[in-house]
Amino acid sequence: MRTLPINVRLDGRTVLVVGDGEAAHAKLRLLAKTPARLRVVAPDGWAGLGDWRGRVEVTARAFEPADLAGVALVYAATEDAATDSAVAAAARAAGVPVNVVDRPALCDFITPAIVDRDPLSIAICTNGGAPVLGRRLRARIEAWLPQGFGRLVDNAAGFRDRLKAVLPEVADRRRFWDRFFDGAAGDDLLALSDDALGARLERLAQTAAAERDQGKAAGEAGGEV
């Protein structure tokens, strides 16, 4: 892989977008789905901020390296090559990862095409080589992947501690999840209510524990002389 796909936690952290054109708007639309603190620096101050007003801190002037203080990530999206290059250079000097829109050679990180089924997400990255292809693949996956998969992930996450109590061994838990998710491809799990999902999880966990105990008992009996 030319780049390493990772997910970055942005709770309580600041992301800076430099620019006020369509490229900057596109980044803001994506970032607004996260819990990040959002900051914009643009000469015109984003007079048409609209629905983002109150969510985004706006500084109405040209970018300055001091704008990078306390920033976790920065997007250079001015659509002016010289300005974007200057933002990238300042970000690297400050140790802040930078993404320069449409200039992958200047990027420390690349934002992929994203299928959002929160908390499930699927990222498609062409390393900046064919973003249109990435968007087309995203559209195909969007059309195929039901919305309910996010709820399924939430239910599984809520059962993890309970499952550790019933099945302490990692290998047993992996087998359990393989068995549980076998039904997801047929959408039968997606049709269940949260209560029904919880009941199925508990029932399968108890069955797995019983099978494990039976296996241990059979092994011990087989070892007797």
User: Residue range 34-62: average pLDDT?
Assistant: 82
Where does the pLDDT of residue 73 fall: very low under 50, low under 70, confident under 90, or very high at 90 and above?
very high
Query: Computed over its alpha carbons, how large is the radius of gyration of the chain?
Result: 24
Q: Give pLDDT tens digits for 103-140.
A: 999 999 999 999 999 999 999 999 888 989 999 999 99
pLDDT of residue 215: 81
Rounded-to-integer distance, Cα 17 and Cα 33, Å = 15
- Tell me the CA end-to-end span of the chain in Å, nearest whole number: 55
Q: Which of 160, 150, 151, 169 is nearest to 209 (CA)?
A: 169
Mean residue pLDDT of the chain comes to: 90
Paired sense of beta strands 113-117 and 120-124, if any: antiparallel
Q: Are 132 and 161 in contact (CB under 8 A)?
A: no
State pTM to two decimals: 0.82
Rounded-to-integer distance, Cα 127 and Cα 104, Å = 7
pLDDT of residue 3: 87
Q: Kindly tell me if the per-residue pLDDT of 58 is higher than 50.
A: yes
Helix ranges (DSSP H) in 66-193: 81-94, 131-144, 149-166, 170-181
Sequence-separated (6 or more) residues with CB below 8 Å from residue 60: 42, 43, 44, 45, 46
Where does the pLDDT of residue 218 fall: very low under 50, low under 70, confident under 90, or very high at 90 and above?
confident
As a 3-state breakdown, the chain gives helix, strand, coil percent values, each rounded to 5, of 50, 15, 35
Rounded-to-integer distance, Cα 199 and Cα 6, Å = 33
